[in-house]
Amino acid sequence: MSKIEFKSHVPVAQKPALEALLFFNSCQERVSACIADAIEKFGSPEIVADRDRLRIHVKGLPEVQSLFAIDTETGRPVGVAVYARQDIEHVTVVHVGISAEFASGGRRANEQLLLKLLREVRRSTRRVKGVRTMDLYYATGRTSAPRWRAPAKVLM
């Protein structure tokens, strides 16, 4: 079983794999309403090349960031979280993609890649001064959904 590492970019050579993950993911039907809602609110994600690296850009979010889960054996992106700082205290994950093999029912589902990816986003945003909460838009797009909060004594 290969290891997973987290990076802020993907090599240009992995563009087809990133397109498959972000746009042609077989698991999208599970959250299609949430995806449509996020695209309507924030804009559609686009893959952009920055020299020899690929990143995700969202037209409605100029300061958007991405975190990719990379299979170390193949270099293939198997997960992505696209997030932005909505205000001084809040970071919102606006798009998420997980390869089918890691999704519920997949052969590597027990590795809990989605949870690990979101934990890594939370860990990286803790270093940003003032950030106190992280929302997963697919879960919080509705106002009644709970919000993930950092413990009171720990700033995100």
pLDDT digits (tens, 9 = 90+) for 79-95: 999 988 777 777 888 88
The tokens describing 42, both together, are 């924030």
Please report whether residue 11 resides in a domain: yes
Please report whether residue 154 resides in a domain: no
Which parts of the chain have pLDDT scores under 70?
Answer: 1, 25-33, 130, 138-156
Q: Which domain holds residue 68?
A: 4-149
Laid out side by side, the sheet with 148-149 consists of 4-7, 65-71, 77-85, 90-98, 133-136, 148-149
Please report whether residue 156 resides in a domain: no
Please report whether residue 77 resides in a domain: yes
CATH number for the domain that contains residue 74: 3.40.630
**Domains in the chain, number:** 1
pTM, to two decimals: 0.81
Do 85 and 128 contact (CB within 8 A), yes or no?
A: yes
pLDDT single digits (tens) 125-150? 777 776 777 777 766 544 334 344 43
Please report whether residue 72 resides in a domain: yes
